[in-house]
Homo-oligomer: A and B are copies of this chain.
């Protein structure tokens, strides 16, 4: 188990879907940052279930409590512990799942690794684990704002199954994305996407899709090659999120179809004499270091593994059997995954901003 992330802005998350609670300890946060529980709550509310008609109807209030590290409204430089109590206890919904391995879930692998697991609600493999990340990222965003005030981290739902949004990364706004319950930046796709999710749920089925993210206002010079390249740490951050299957930056997989002559980004000077590239197939990163252009990447999320359909599986006594999903689940995780992509991006960038000033002053 490794529930720690970051080098200087270092977080340690904990908690299962059932039990006392979930949360995070943030070690290394700079002092003097204005921070209140409300700053964290706003992002937890964007992550929480039950927020709209296309998410799970589970209602988890997810109230954040800051236990330490803040005095008189400002961070003190000491560890910030945030806890969120678990409230919605329904272990009975999971009795069958304690024995039968849910297909494409982590039940079997946790048993294989640890010889046991907390079978309620997915235990540590529950999406509820991400609360600690979102809480920590709320702090990371405030730190980033002191180092790079222009920075904007903007992820949106770029596709649900084969429904693709048409969004301009250069101009998309937080308000556009948050204006609809799908969290897509393309208003013309909202209804179709909502209908698709509702239809999947009605059918006991589920959907996947992609999230695209642009980060504008990043200074040139962040990233620590050769191993801790910005894109390497973003890839790790994204693939550490539940249900993710892929990551690509800039031209990504499609870029392999171009020749070098088509793919290279020419350097030019903008009207202020700043070095820019006239295309951005590099996705804002060259040689693992930001070049001052927007960071652009995409993340693939598989369709929700829990479906209300009988499936073939085995149990923990080595017998073949069948299992049908129970409980209340998101038929499509994409809308609620938008704040998660934002969170991991903020955690990666905040840590790199601090590492750059640690080494280079």
Contact = CB atoms under 8 A, between A and B. Distances in A.
Taking chain A's interface residues, is the majority helix, strand, or loop, or is none over half, making it mixed?
Answer: mixed
Contact of A104 (B119, B210, B268, B282): B282
B23 A313 contact: no
Contact of A246 (B16, B210, B220, B246): B246
Contact of A263 (B5, B208, B209): B208
A257 B113 contact: no
A300 B20 contact: no
**Most B CB atoms within 10 A — which of A256, A261, A289, A355?**
A256
A221 B215 CA distance: 34
Interface stretch (A42-50, A52-60, A72-80, A180-188): A72-80
**Most B CB atoms within 10 A — which of A110, A200, A226, A292?**
A226
A87 interface: no
B286 A109 contact: yes
Contacts of A71: 16, 19, 116-119, 123
A313 B116 contact: no
Nearest to A74: B116
Contact of A247 (B16, B161, B239, B275): B239
A198 interface: no
A264 B65 contact: no
Contacts of A238: 235
Given A113-B221, A269-B314, A302 B359 contact: no
B249 A292 contact: no
A269 B200 CA distance: 30
A267 B103 contact: yes
Contacts of A105: 286-287
How large, as a class, is the contact surface on chain A?
Answer: 35 or more
Nearest to A206: B260
Interface string A195-231: 0000010001111111000000000111111111101
Contact of A12 (B27, B76, B318): B27
Interface stretch (A148-156, A168-176, A303-311): A303-311
Contact of A10 (B4, B200, B242): B4
B4 A267 contact: no
A285 to B, nearest CB: 8
A27 to B, nearest CB: 5
A302 to B, nearest CB: 5
A285 B118 CA distance: 19
A95 to B, nearest CB: 14
6 contacts: A14-B79, A109-B287, A125-B287, A208-B260, A239-B247, A248-B253
